[in-house]
Amino acid sequence: MSEPDAKANRYGARPVADLIPALMRPAAKRRGFASVDLVAYWADIVGAAYADCTRPERLAWPKRIEDGGEQAYEPATLTVAVEGSRALLFQHEAADIARRINAVYGFKAVGRIRIVQKPITRIAVEPSPRPRALSPAEEKRLAASLDGIENEGLKAALERLGRGVLAGGST
């Protein structure tokens, strides 16, 4: 089986998440992004406070110059679109955000953040339907199946999963 088909299931289908990086790569390269990691993890990098009002636009790498026969490295300038009302607050945290971006890349990739004020379009996400309430018998069965688990985080995650499975919905 070839490498691209390694994750395909028996029906030949592949997870969409595996296809997206290859589809986004040409568009990302036109904008200066060597990989789609910065765009894909933007919400994790900037945090909840700025995820909905900012968007990375372009990563501009300076022209390489030779310094004594050796090419000197210069970090890139990241252009970020920010909604006007949040631009000043974002500017105050730009140095910290640049450090987080550099941590993602593993080297000093971004030396400066350039802020461009513009409206950010949001994709409307429909809330998922609430699962039905479990019957008392199902509640008892779920509680009994979780009795032996000591780790509270794992227990809570398994309880959410169990509720989704017993209610007949997805979690």
The tokens for 6 are 């390694």
Name the one residue in this structure whose structure tokens are 């350039």.
114
Its pTM stands at 0.54
Query: Residue 50: which of 76, 99, 83, 98 has the closest Cα?
Result: 83
Q: At what angle do helices 152-167 and 136-145 cross, to 10 degrees?
A: 140
Q: Which segment of 39-48, 50-59, 70-79, 99-108 scores lowest on mean pLDDT?
A: 70-79
**Domain ranges, ordered by start, for the chain:** 16-117, 126-171
| Predicted confidence (pLDDT) at residue 32 exceeds the cutoff of 60 | no
Which pLDDT score, from 0 to 100, does residue 78 have? 92
Name the one residue in this structure whose structure tokens are 């990241």.
78
pLDDT digits (tens, 9 = 90+) for 64-93: 766 665 666 788 899 999 999 999 999 999
115 with 90: CB under 8 angstroms? yes
Q: How many CA atoms lie within 13 A of 148 on its CB side?
A: 1
Which pLDDT score, from 0 to 100, does residue 91 have? 95
Give the C-alpha separation, 48 to 161, whole Å.
Answer: 25
